[in-house]
Amino acid sequence: MKGGNHSPIGDGCIAILGAGSLGQLWAGYLPAGDVVFVPRHAPPTSQHAEALAYRLQQSDGSTVTIRVPWLPARDIQPSVLLVTTKAGDTLTALENQLPDLPSDTPVVLFQNGMGSQQAVAERWPERPILAASTTEGANRPEPGYTVHAGRGETWVGALTDNASPHLETVVQALRTSGLTIHAEQDIKRRLWDKLVVNAGINAFTAILDCPNGVILTEPFYLDHIDELCDEIVAVLRAEGSNSPTPAAIRQRIETVARGTAGNTSSMRSDRQQERTTEIDFINGYICRRGQALGIEVPVNRMLTDRVKELTR
């Protein structure tokens, strides 16, 4: 144990940074006693803040009470750090915590979209940094109450060179949750696949303030979706990726929108609650890649600007 503090739970635990919906979901499924939350601000002395207690409605409808201790990064030697902050908060959150963690602690980034993962991997190229893409869904309809809204799957893969040797142990650690986890050799491709679907749904639902399925009959969506898919394909091809056709991308977007027709996207929810959205890491990421690659992406730019205006 580091720093002379003795909290046995801190050794070999699974630490979670970002005690929001997704962090509470993971903490609720991982074995009690093996998981801790890392507080944003460490207490000045070794006196730990208490624990975070909340009710978790699991995917089978049953509700359990969860208590997870808060332990400062300086007091733990976790087997893995799961990072479940929003994309825009992640670099700052890690700047605050990583100096206190051993340099060989694997770090798994759960953010949606792209851009934040690359920023972390570029900032700490020598650390084992992994990324996860998950279709699990969690939300917090009221304080102290977290709902596992949809059972999904999670893919984890290495981002930095040092991460590959940790992949299997990280996957095994996450599997102790009972959730479905896969090791993914091409995590960037999987992140792109999810980004493409989010790029075709989230901004439209936020701008139109509607559930996912409703966009499919809205003129604003119908007027822009083909051009949006053309832009995505142009960027993917310029990236050197083996891109599907624009029609295949549109079909993928619409299959997901139909399959989640009654759902509120996280971007619409952020807009409704006047929180910063992750648009910079979805359509905004496509804009940045387009600019770097010399490709015009006016629909992605328009959607990014419109969402930012709504949430300014």
Ligand X SMILES: NC(=O)c1ccc[n+]([C@@H]2O[C@H](COP(=O)([O-])OP(=O)(O)OC[C@H]3O[C@@H](n4cnc5c(N)ncnc54)[C@H](OP(=O)(O)O)[C@@H]3O)[C@@H](O)[C@H]2O)c1
User: Is residue 40 a contact point for ligand X (CB under 6 A)?
Assistant: yes
Site string (122-161) toward ligand X, x via CB under 6 A: ------------x-xxx-----------------------
Site string (163-202) toward ligand X, x via CB under 6 A: ----------------------------------------
At its nearest, how many Å lie between ligand X and the CB of residue 245?
A: 27
Residue nearest to ligand X (CB): 20
Residue 116's nearest CA partner among 299, 309, 276 is 276
In angstroms, the CA 257 to CA 261 distance is 5
By C-beta, is 59 or 164 nearer to ligand X?
A: 59
Among 63, 92, 255, 272, binds ligand X (CB under 6 A): 92
In angstroms, the CA 150 to CA 274 distance is 24
At its nearest, how many Å lie between ligand X and the CB of residue 147?
A: 10
User: Is residue 257 a contact point for ligand X (CB under 6 A)?
Assistant: no
By C-beta, is 84 or 177 nearer to ligand X?
A: 84
Residue 143's nearest CA partner among 50, 20, 285 is 20
Segment near ligand X (CB under 6 A), from 45-53, 80-88, 217-225, 243-251?
Answer: 80-88
Active-site choice (2, 86, 194, 308):
194
In angstroms, the CA 51 to CA 69 distance is 4
In angstroms, the CA 196 to CA 154 distance is 17
Query: Which strands form 35-38's sheet, in the order they lie side by side?
Result: 35-38, 14-17, 80-83, 107-109, 129-134, 153-158, 180-183
Tell me what percent of the chain is helix, strand and coil, each rounded to the nearest 5: 50, 20, 30
User: Is residue 29 a contact point for ligand X (CB under 6 A)?
Assistant: no
At its nearest, how many Å lie between ligand X and the CB of residue 269?
A: 9
| Structure tokens given for 144 | 């102290």
194 is catalytic: yes
CA distances from 312 to 40, 165, 259 (A): 25, 43, 31
Just list the catalytic residues.
194
- Which chain residues interact with ligand X by CB under 6 A? 17-23, 40, 84-87, 89, 92-93, 110-112, 134, 136-138, 266, 278
